[in-house]
Chain A
């Protein structure tokens, strides 16, 4: 390993380092209030969630409408473990990952035999089931009353005679979220460039050919679903310890749809595209929340705006803002030859 010099980096590498540096100094910029920081954390949280969801539709080509179910399970598991047993966040994170994966396997193993729309319907049903469970199992979740008073994240070194440092305000959560996003992106990149990732891409592109290469479709789809669910649950446990209050209606179907929109908008299957999708939709949502009342419209109109954006995207750039390289190459070729390009990545029928 030689010394790392700036001029040796590729253009992409420079952009990455620049963006990371910007993210790190963001809280100290003059216009950044607590509110802006809150939105920034929300963006980072949705990056984790959309990267996690991306595994299923983006890498495997399966439509998953129930992702928020895993998010909810993760959040409530984290909340309850903290509430009742006072478990540390650092213990909860790996537990949440495993717990999410288990639920992913439990739901995926019987249902991933279904194809296309049928699978999507089952996942949709699952997320509704989770909300109903959280609402009605009052002995466990306090139901619609919500779960208040969840401890904040803290770094406790009292065991070693050190200090105990509690995360108060938005700043520590912001950096915690950045670390979590970095870890997620790292894992995604490693998977993308591995035997596991290639097997998923094979399933996405052609199931019959994938099987002929010796790929066990069900097993690899279940693995995909489990890992996706695990990241959803990790996102959920961060959410629980950040807002310190949970209620069942935070995990309605709308959230699944929003995360799916981020993926489609950003570029299904592309790690960077998906993160861009999260930035665009979360910030747009907040901007609209401010602007709409000024225009004399109810806040709910922003759902209509999202719908409009999706329609326009499907019409003019169906592969997303930043498609996967092969689709981007086809689009460039298509532009030269003036041919219409179909989106190569989509949901299997």
Chain B
């Protein structure tokens, strides 16, 4: 272990990251999509001299500012914080490889935040032409933050030539960069529509003029879903063509075996995402577009919940696609690098660790257990828990220590032909004795077995 361990009960580290990430992404996608929404909507209001739309946009801007600059910005720092706690080696690698990439994103982020404050607080204080320029400036700045972060996120899945060259550019503009960027942009547009469904649904409809304006804004918001459903599938297909073959195989295999109930978790997530996305588009058409009068804020909130779920599934799937790596083909999710596995197998995991168990002279059995526990904490705890998400006792099932040794021996191998788990789990790293110690420790985690008669 290069770093000390933080054991997160029940949830495990991956869920903790996931919760923070889902909240952040749901808001940050609104922050970027909202930039496009304000720029286009204000341009329409400016062109048509549409006072009602200006009034609506001002109210929407306050909501936008309060959500994006507070919860959006802070959860962004939150993701960074939680990844650093769960996967210090992973985050340090990303920071070190892309220091000035992060720094560039920070500059665009400063521009984005500064302009959103001026945009909101200077409403009615500057000319409408200047205000439109502010909206456009915001849209550009927010897209540019995406341009940077998308490079770093896709680098984690498809670092491409960076693995050989170490040159940042090779990893940044990788083969999933463009499909991912475009997918995110169209999804962000939908997010903007989704949030504006909420604020538009709260508009008054006491007079016919108010009601018809409300109808117009709801129908306008619903149209923001069109890009995702028009080009989203094509972009997703393009993205799929470029993901690592092992991952593609896992998804395809899951799809093909769904008839026999054996489909993979990734395939299940894809189905669920598709069903929810279909639900959103159908109800966006039937609800706010065709029947805006009966569309209520509660319905808009229901849309947002669906949106949050789809976003979460999308991001979760993206994380799953990358498993078992933090940086595909370079760094495993438990902080071990591929290049170190051979040395660790020869020298020993404990010996190469910085944070070692406290061994006691003469206590052979106890020391074996301590080493096994250290192996578990260092190599398994990044993805498994002792009794919650991906629970180790559940995974072990009814295996006895001998069966556990056999399983660990399989995943000790780095040869794909011998280790069928290579695509989904890091190999166990360490000497034969350490693997044996891990098995001994794992055997203590098993659920109590029924007595044999």
The answer to whether A and B come from one shared complex is no
On A, residues with C-beta under 8 Å from B are none
